[in-house]
Structures are given as structure tokens and as C-alpha cells.
Structure 1
Amino acid sequence: MSSLMHKTNTPLPRRLAAAAIALGSCLALAGPTGSAGAAPADPVPTVFFGDSYTANFGIAPFQEGDRTLCFQAKENYPAVATRSLAGKGITLDVQADVSCGGALIHHFWLEQELPLGAKVPPQQEALKYDTQLTVGSMGGNTLGFTRILKQCSDKLRGPEHVLLPGAPVNADEPAAKCAEFFESGDGKKWLDDQFEQVGTELEEVLERIGYFSPDAKRVLVGYPRLVPEDTTKCLTPAPGQTELPFADVPQDALPVLDQVQKRLNEVMKKAAADIEGGADFVDLYASTGGNTACDGADRGIGGLLEDSQLALGDYKLPWYAHPNEKGRDIQAEKAAATVEQILNR
């Protein structure tokens, strides 16, 4: 059966994916693993995938062409990590970086619709049989984190923020009561359902990688921490800013946002641990507690309504709580360290 026929939009049966992994490990040509403790001698065929946190929305300039509306930075963390690894004698042969802002997990196997009628193909189409390494982040959009933010912010519900995907979970509930909304009743049930979907679909992504690229090491990169443990730090604008880091999101909702993100991190980590053949997880949440959106000059996350480096005409796009250049460099450092460890096994 041709690889084109394999790349359907129908989720693969798990036993078929597992069998393909086992078969691939027996039949595939030996990958560039090198000797124990030594960097691989040959370039490592690599595919980067993911959403706006891999694409690094907000950092200019971004890639142009048929993927312009993905807002993928030319200097996103995959590019920075690749350069860092090259300096250590580890060469990645980047077959593709298909990360795209707004991507849901299912856009790994379904095409993604972009603004203005544009579309990009399923991210899995970048996978080759000889791909040896896959790295990326997915989950936040499927969880509906932007919908959660809009549930908690009147400002984000305004028409000027239509570029931020999604609508409030329940627009009839006031933003000021969003903490209560997500901690009980319909809001809590909605969250539980979203987390279940994220876990199931992340396993599907990892299985598909194993199926189409049976010799590939799979690296799932978590999301950096947004909200600090001490939320009083969020009551002061960052240097040079007038808006609070989380704008009009109520202070009592900030711990709720943090718990949502912590739970997402745990779901991602579990998916990587449970998948047949194993995957590695980069735990950014655990290592970025001092670089949240509320850490002033040390922030690795641009404030919710802080101007990013991108503009549409005269309108500066906000960061919408994405990594700034400092945060991008942290992502790159942690991802590169994990890749180096994997390839030196």
C-alpha cells in the first residue's frame, strides 16, 4: 500500500499503528544514533510540527508565502534550537517545519483552514519514512485556552480581538465570575471533556508519527508557565507597559488559569509516557516559574494585550500571552537539551 493511501483522514487503529512501529524497528535502516555518548555522525532528518507556540507567533519577521497566515517566525524555537545543536556538532536535516498558529491537534491529520480562505495541508504530510526526529507542541488550542481567556476577559470578547481564535465558553456568564464558572457546573464539565479529548488526540498524533516514520524519536514539548505562583505580581504592569500582564482578567481567575495549564502539562506528559514505544516530554511548565507574563523584565511571555513585534498595517498585534524572544530562547534551550540527550543515548 502506498504512503499516500496511508495518509487518510481516518484515525488509525491503535493496534495497526503499534504493529507498524514494531515492524519498522525490525526493517528500517539503522538511524544516525552514533555510539553511546557520541553525537550522531550524519545529519538527522527532522520534522517540526505544532501550533503558535512552536511557530512563535508575535516574533518578527515571519515566514511568507502560502503559509503567511500561520505567523511562523523565521527565528522560531525550532530554528534557534537547530542552530544551537549545530554548534555542538549535532546537525539536523530539517525536512520541514509545519508549525502553524491556531492549529488544533486534529490538524495533524486534517487540513487547517486559515483566515481569508487560505488552507494548509495536514501536518503529517511532512513526515517521511526516513524521518529520524520529530519535535513540537500541540494541545492548547484543542483544550480551548483562548476560549478560556475570553471567558475571563471583557476586553478579549471585543471585536478588535477577533483574530484570537474562539469565543467565550458561555458568553452569557460574566467575565468577572469566570473562576466560579470553571470550578463548578457546566464550566467544569466542559473542561473535563476538553482534557479527555486532548489526551486521546495527542496519543493519536504520536501513533501516526510512529506509523509514517517508524524510526523517528518523538519529542512532545510542553507549554511555558504563564501565571506565577504569587499572583500579586500580576497587579503591576511590566516595565514600559500600561496594561496589566493579564489585562482585565480577574485576580481570582489567575490561579484557575494556572491550574488549567498545569493540568494540560500533566495530560501531555502522560500521553508521551503511555504511547507504545515511548516519547520524550520537555517539561517547560516546571522550569519557567520565574519567567511568567508577570515577571517584569524577566518575563518570557508577552502580556495579554502588550504589543508584539507583528503589525497589520498600523495595528500592532498583541502577544496574547505567547513567548517573547526571551521565552523563545528558553524553549529552544530546553528542546535542544532534550534532543541532544536523545541522540547521544
Structure 2
Amino acid sequence: MTSRSRVRAAAVCLAAAGIVLLVAPGALAAPLGDPTVSGGTQGREYVALGDSYSAGFGLEPFSEEPAAGCFQALANYPHRIAESLGLTLDDRTCSGAVTADIRDVEQVTAAGASAPVQSASLSATTEIVTLSIGGNDLQFSDIAASCIAASSLGPLVADQTTPNCRSKYVVSGGGVEVDTLKDRIDSLVAPALASTFALVTEKAPNAEIVVVGYPAITPDPTNTPVGGCFSPAFTAAGYPENSFPFTDVDTAYLHETEAHLDAAIQTAAEASGATFISTLEATAAHSACTTTDSYMNGITLEPGEGTPTTPGASLKLGALHPNEAGVAYLAETVGAALRTSLEPGTPEATAPTATASATATAQPTAPAPTAPTAPLVIAGVLVLLGAALGTALFVRRRSAAANRTPKHTPEA
């Protein structure tokens, strides 16, 4: 069975309404920087760990490494960095990974294959480690799915009585607001991150360890257009390209949530002695909201398999993940930091700067869409974001493993 067939089979099992995934066309991009490498980095052992944001989810062609269904792109940023610096790469990144998959759990992939425990690739001879992880522990794909809205003012598609996602996750009690997502980060994700980074440091004691934060999916207030970001994922006329179907309230709320996760990752990374590279602020002007110079894919649906009474929809891989420009930015940013660290005395390379535009471009304003059918809205749109953030591609099949208390993590 081909890789594409396995993806379709897994998608059909997950989506009872016949939703399938459509692989977006992609191309193998040129490697980072000048192909000429220096003796200071040539041949050094480099291990890349992490989830879909490291694996390059959505950038075809994919390899079958470390297992079928990991959606590891041949042009992801670890491969570009390795080629640019002349490193010997062992790329263990796999879409859908959680912290437990880094530490001590074999990951079941979208194709039903088993990816080895990622940290098993580390040793005293490992010289460089890059790692992005944490988004799936927060279950951000499920969160994003619950936030799909009918218009910039709401309501939510899955719950017509709820105006926005913030009101779903921020609860009031005794006159005090409690943000359940921030609480989840503090009580569950942060300890898991701390345990994971400590283990990586223990297994690769001689390595330069770089933890890379997630780029901005939604913009910060400074880079949010006056007219807002909302554009519908589906209309009576069809499916727009790179839509941004989140309310104005949730655009801000989701960014706040990502910023809280970014801070938690930084705290855990630095406590373990690793270097942390935050990409959140630098990419805020290049989120999925912007229609120009975006580093992130929006959401694109296309007509797909279904029935005469229940239309189907297909989702292009890579939704809410770095596009070609975004992966290039990550490669340049992380690669520049590694070159400076590995080659003392080398003039510090200037990573590309994501400069905020003084006149941010808004998404085209559109009236509240008329959903093709209620079954499509409920089945298609919610399932599509189980694949978005890729991270959680088909993770529901093994949610118990993802959410259990890690062996190296203290009780939350």
C-alpha cells in the first residue's frame, strides 16, 4: 500500500462522514545558505527531535523516516540546516509526537506504523540536538477545531449557542476568571516539558541542545488588521484558499494561549541548560491571518468524497503549519544560531527578520457563510483540524498514551 493510500485509509477510519485528506502539492526547496561548509561543523552528529513543526508537515515529498506516516519532509528545517552546515543528520521528527514519544513511548503514526522512541537516538557522541514539542500535549488541534466560527462575531460552528472559543475555555467562578487552557499548560504541559528536556540533556550530555518555539499561528494585537482576520472556511460558492475561520475574540485569545505555551517551553528549556529560540514575536506579522508574506498556511478545503446527502470535503495537508517561507525562516534562524555556537569567533549570522508591516493587509471581508450542509459542518470542519496543527494527525487513536502521566514527570 502506498503512503498516500495509508493516509486515505486512516482518514476514512477517523471521519465517519467520508472526509479524506488531500496532499497539497509541494516541492523540494533549496537548502539553507551557501552550500560551502566550514571545517568547524563538518560531519558533526546532529539529532533532530520533535513533532510536525520540525518534521515539515505539508511540504512534500515525504520520506518514510523514522516511520511511515510521520510526514517528515525531505526539505524540513533539520535537513536544510544539516546540508548547510555539513552535519551528519539523524532526523527522528514525526508529526503527531507528544513529549512521551520523545522520552519513552513508541509513537503510533497516521499510517499505523510504530516510530521508535525519539530519545533512543541520543548518546554521549551526539553533538547537536534541535527539538520542538509541547503543542500536542496541550491538544491544540482539538482546541483549534472547537474554535471554528461562522463569522468574525461567531457563533462557533460546533455549538451555535457559544459566541466564541474564549467563552468556552475561560470560566468564571466566585467573581474570578479561570483560563482552563493556561491552567492545563501550567499543571500538565510544563512538567512534561521539564521532564523531557532534562532527559534529553541526560542522554546527550555533550550536545549543544536547542529548543525551538512555535511560530505565530495567529497575530498579536499590533499585527492584527483593523478589519480583523476572519475569512470563512466554506461558503455557498465553495471553499476559499487559506481561510482563517476564527472570531476576532479568538484571534487574540489563541495568540495569548500560544504565548503562554511559548513561555512555558522557554522556562523548561533554560532550566535544563538548553538554548531556547522563540520564534513567536518575530513571526507575528507573518501568521496565517495575513494575505501577504505569510509564513503559515491557512485552512483550505476542497470538494471530496461523500454521499448524495452528505457532501464530503478534503483538507490539504499543512493547515496551520509553516509554509515554504516559514520553513525557510526556521532553517535560517536556527541554522544561524547553531553556526554561531559551533564556530566561536565566527561573525554572528543575521537571521531573517520578520518585520511587522505598518499597513497589515486584512483578509477579504465576507458575510457570514451559508454552510453547504449541517453534516459537512459538524463532520468535515471539526475533523479537518484534527489533522491541522499536524501535530495531532490521528492522535485521537492513542489519546490515552498522550495524556498519561509521563514516567519522568512528577504528579501534576
Into which bin does the TM-score normalised by the smaller protein fall? 0.7 to 0.9
Cα 1:316/1:178, change in 2 over 3 Å? closer
Q: Pick the aligned partner of 1:188 from 179, 187, 211.
A: 179
Q: Is the 8 A contact 1:235 1:244 kept in 2?
A: no
CA distance in 1, matches of 2:314, 2:148: 20
CA distance in 2, matches of 1:148, 1:42: 42
Structure 1 match to 2:50: 50
CA distance in 2, matches of 1:214, 1:188: 37
What amino acid sits opposite 1:242 in the alignment? Answer: P
Give the CA deviation at 1:74: 0.8
Using the aligned pairs only, state the percent identity.
29
Matches within 5 A, 1:219-298: 219-228=210-219, 229=221, 230-231=224-225, 232-235=227-230, 242-243=240-241, 245-247=243-245, 249-275=246-272, 278-298=273-293
Cα 1:214/1:173, change in 2 over 3 Å? farther
Structure 2 match to 1:111: 106
CA distance in 2, matches of 1:212, 1:57: 27
What amino acid sits opposite 2:341 in the alignment? Answer: I
Structure 2 match to 1:78: 78
What do the CA deviations read for 1:35-94 (whole angstroms, capped 9, x no partner)?
Answer: xxx962652111000000000111111112662211111100111122233xxxxx3121
Structure 1 match to 2:402: none
Structure 2 match to 1:300: 295
CA distance in 2, matches of 1:56, 1:197: 26
Q: Is the 8 A contact 2:68 2:111 kept in 1?
A: no
In structure 2, stretches of 5+ residues that fail to align are 1-37, 151-157, 234-238, 303-312, 345-412
CA distance in 1, matches of 2:343, 2:160: 52
Give the CA deviation at 1:184: 2.2
Cα 1:172/1:245, change in 2 over 3 Å? closer
SS at match of 2:267: helix
CA distance in 2, matches of 1:83, 1:50: 19
Q: Is the 8 A contact 1:224 1:288 kept in 2?
A: yes
Structure 2 match to 1:64: 64
Give the CA deviation at 1:298: 0.3
RMSD value, Cα:
2.7
CA distance in 1, matches of 2:315, 2:231: 22
Give the CA deviation at 1:320: 2.2
Cα 1:84/1:185, change in 2 over 3 Å? farther
User: How many pairs align?
Assistant: 276
Cα 1:40/1:153, change in 2 over 3 Å? same
TM-score (norm 1): 0.73
CA distance in 2, matches of 1:144, 1:98: 21
Q: Is the 8 A contact 1:54 1:77 kept in 2?
A: yes
What amino acid sits opposite 1:104 in the alignment? Answer: V
What amino acid sits opposite 2:106 in the alignment? Answer: E
Q: Pick the aligned partner of 2:145 from 141, 146, 150.
A: 150
What amino acid sits opposite 2:250 in the alignment? Answer: A
Q: Is the 8 A contact 1:112 1:120 kept in 2?
A: yes
Structure 1 match to 2:208: 217
In structure 1, stretches of 5+ residues that fail to align are 1-37, 86-90, 156-170, 308-313
SS at match of 1:270: helix
Give the CA deviation at 1:179: 1.3
CA distance in 1, matches of 2:115, 2:160: 35
CA distance in 2, matches of 1:219, 1:243: 34
TM-score (norm 2): 0.61
Matches within 5 A, 1:88-103: 91-94=86-89, 96-103=90-97
